[in-house]
Chain A
Amino acid sequence: MFEEIREHYRIVFVNVVLNSIAFALAGVLQTLNAIMGYSIAFVGNNLLEGLVLVLVAFVFMHGVKCFVKGQGVDGYALAVAGALLVTILFLLHIIILATNALGFALGLEDWAEWQLAQDLNASIWLFPFALPIIRFYRMQRPKKTN
């Protein structure tokens, strides 16, 4: 049952645990930033984005739960789905960063005070945490049992 995953179980499992903790922390911090008006650097202060990060953490946590209960395929599927969401958020913020940089480069008034650090939020710097799952997924997928 689920032999390929068992071989790499530790890698996927450790990454899913790491991602759930990291995204939960980042999500809670960003939500607090938005509600309390804090300004913790590199976290962001968008309330809905904070909640989105918490939802991503929830997907990973559900994956951890499935792994622990021995439901390997479900745990793996949740890890992949979570990593996919992380990739979407990462690409989204990279595009926003690029367009803001364009506004700055063109000397547009609204972007005159733009700084790179403003756009380097949790969705960008947490992406590397999801990379091992994506890499693993591209290398191999679990076998179906007859």
Chain B
Amino acid sequence: MSKDNPIDPQILLAEERYKIISDIISEVYSKGEKHYSKTDLLDRVFLHPYLGIMIFLVVMWAMFHFTFEASAVFMVIIENIIEWLKGFALQIPNPVIASLIAEGIIGGVGFILVFVPPIFFMYFTISILEDSGYLARAAFVMDKIMVKMGLHGRSFIPLLLGFGCSVPGIMAARTVDGRENRLTTILVTPLMSCSARLPVYIMIAGAFFPLYQGTIVFLMYIIGIVFAILMALIFQKLIFKGKSSPFIMELPEYQTPTFHGSVIHTWERGVLFLKKAGTYLLFGAVLLWFISKMGPGGYDVPIAESYAGILGNAIAPLFVPLGFDWTIVTALIFGFFAKEIVVESLSIIYSVNGAAAIRLQLLGLMTPVTAFALMIFVLLYTPCIAAIGTIRKETNSWKWAMVSVVYQVGLAYSMAFLVVAVGGLIF
């Protein structure tokens, strides 16, 4: 290895390893008349530099289309059950307890459970792609783009995991070589649209773009990827000035995924969402119910005079240029705890139950352009407290955790403003 032409030691190791494997195989195995295997044939197309990317886009579109279109019926069924439970809880004689259970717990956590079908469906498709061996190919195909954009090839895996949840995505950045590459990956992973943002997208897209719901949500994921790449490029050029190192990955053989195996993997991932719903989403719902019912005037004050209203109204002037009123701002503030709480908050603030009721409220408050700006804001701002804590833990520095929060909020605000400004000119 010379100074002028450095070769990554990992490449040398991999080459040596495969040379030994090849030597052993040539001694014990003689070539006969063999057929091309499924992997031989499909990899000629799926790993093609251009066709591979096109096929990846088709597969991603199919995944999101399936997630949102197929889960719609199940969402309505759960919504009807929640509605029935809410009516049942309202019959409790004590009005405070009835309100806490019906509007706080069932209206909040119960409403989030409506989004279990799309989240589980998405995990199911990710499991199928993973079990079939395609996900590794997707990483391989995207590697060239990653390196061109200044990211490390191995950054694709954390970014891909970020689609499910930012926390494991950030933790997976441990495998990325080089401090600068690792930091870049950690900082841009939260821009990948995690499953917690799904309820917000489904809610808004369903209200303002009902005919293109799946397409709009797919677009949000693409925008997330684009911003992750752009920010990585900016971090690499302006702050870190690091070099990318090659991506070495063994590709598994293609397998036909089994229904049983995919269901098990879906459950392993999905159960984390259910645990979250049962713990701090429940805590968030109770807290929100409390501050939206209580105010300086006592219990059951009008929502605008509650502590939630006071908090939202205090910060709302900052969001006037984006067209967000205090109810949206309050929901966004609570969204710092977890993105699911944005929808939960709206349900509690508007004191309504069911997606249709919230959509009606939103239709009266926003234009399609403002709604799209809100989706962009939710996509780009800090995913949750857990993600901030994980960044601090992984970088061992509060500085990088704060950098992550500040740049994401700034980016979210400026991009949402851009959408409103440009949208206002066009529509």
Give me the interface of A with B, judged by CB distance under 8 Å.
46-49, 52, 55-56, 58-59, 62, 73-74, 76-78, 80-81, 84-85, 88-89, 92, 95-96, 99-100, 102-103, 106, 108, 110-111, 140-144, 146
Contacts and interface: CB of A to CB of B under 8 A. Distances in A.
Contacts of B46: 81
Interface residues of B, number: 36
B258 interface: no
A61 B330 CA distance: 52
Contacts of A48: 61, 214-215, 218
B70 A99 contact: yes
Contacts of B40: 144
Contacts of B70: 92, 95-96, 99
A142 B35 contact: yes
Contact of B54 (A59, A77, A88, A110): A59
Contact of B215 (A46, A58, A140): A46
Given A58-B54, A88-B59, A78 B35 contact: no
Main secondary structure of the interface of A (DSSP, over half): helix
Contacts of A142: 35-36, 41
B218 A81 contact: no
A4 B49 CA distance: 28
Contacts of B66: 92, 95-96
A140 to B, nearest CB: 8
Contact of A110 (B37, B59, B76): B76
Interface of B: 31, 33-38, 40-42, 44-46, 51, 54-55, 57-59, 61-62, 65-66, 69-74, 76-77, 80, 212, 214-215, 218
15 contacts: A55-B57, A59-B51, A73-B36, A78-B51, A81-B46, A85-B58, A92-B62, A92-B65, A92-B70, A95-B66, A96-B65, A99-B73, A110-B76, A141-B36, A144-B40
Given A59-B55, A92-B70, A106-B77, 7 more contacts: A46-B215, A77-B45, A78-B45, A85-B55, A99-B71, A110-B72, A144-B40
A76 B40 CA distance: 11
